Amino acid sequence: MNVLKRLAVKNLKKNKKRTISTAIGIILSTALICGTATLVTSFQKTLIQNAINETGYYHIQLADITEDELKDIKANRDIKNIVETEEVGYAILPECKNEDKPYVKVLSISESTFKYLNFKLTER
C-alpha cells in the first residue's frame, strides 16, 4: 500500500495542471448536481403550493352523494378529515359587470372549512 501511495503522490506532483483541472471539474460537477436537485425540488414545492392556493387543501372531492354514502365515508377509519359544503342556490349580484351571468353561487359551509378550501371571506 505504501508503494501505491508514493506512486500516486508522485504522479499528482508531476501532473499539477491535470490534477487541478480534475479537482475543479469534480467541484463544478458536484455543484451542478446539487443546484439542479435544489431547482427541481423548489419547482415541485411551488407547483404544490400553487395548487393549494388555487383549489384548496384536499385530496378528493365527491359530488352528489347520498346520506348513506356520507355515513359510510365518515365510518372509514383511513379518512382523517371530512369537509362538507352544501349548495344553497344562486343569488342575483346587483353590481355585476358580467351582464350574461349576474349571479353568485351560494354555499353553506362551516368555519373549519375555510382552512381547507380556497375561500376568502370578505364580509361576515
Whether the per-residue pLDDT at 38 is higher than 80: the answer is: yes
Residue 61: the pLDDT is 81
Across residues 100-121, what is the average pLDDT? 80
The mean pLDDT of the chain is: 87
Question: How far apart are alpha carbons 118 and 24 in whole angstroms?
Answer: 49
Rounded to the nearest angstrom, the gap between the alpha carbon of residue 33 and the centroid of all alpha carbons in its chain is 22
First to last CA, the chain: 80
What is the predicted pLDDT for the residue at 48?
Answer: 93
Higher pLDDT, 80 or 25: 25
Cell of 41: 425540488
Question: Greater confidence, 87 or 44?
Answer: 44
Encode pLDDT of 49-58 as tens digits. Answer: 998 888 888 7
Identify the CA nearest to 86 among candidates 73, 72, 70.
70
Residue 106 near residue 87, CB atoms below 8 Å: yes
Percent share of the chain, pLDDT over 90: 30
124 pLDDT band (50/70/90 cuts)? Answer: low
Three-point CA angle 75, 80, 81, nearest 5°: 95
User: Poorest-confidence range of 17-26, 35-44, 74-83?
Assistant: 74-83
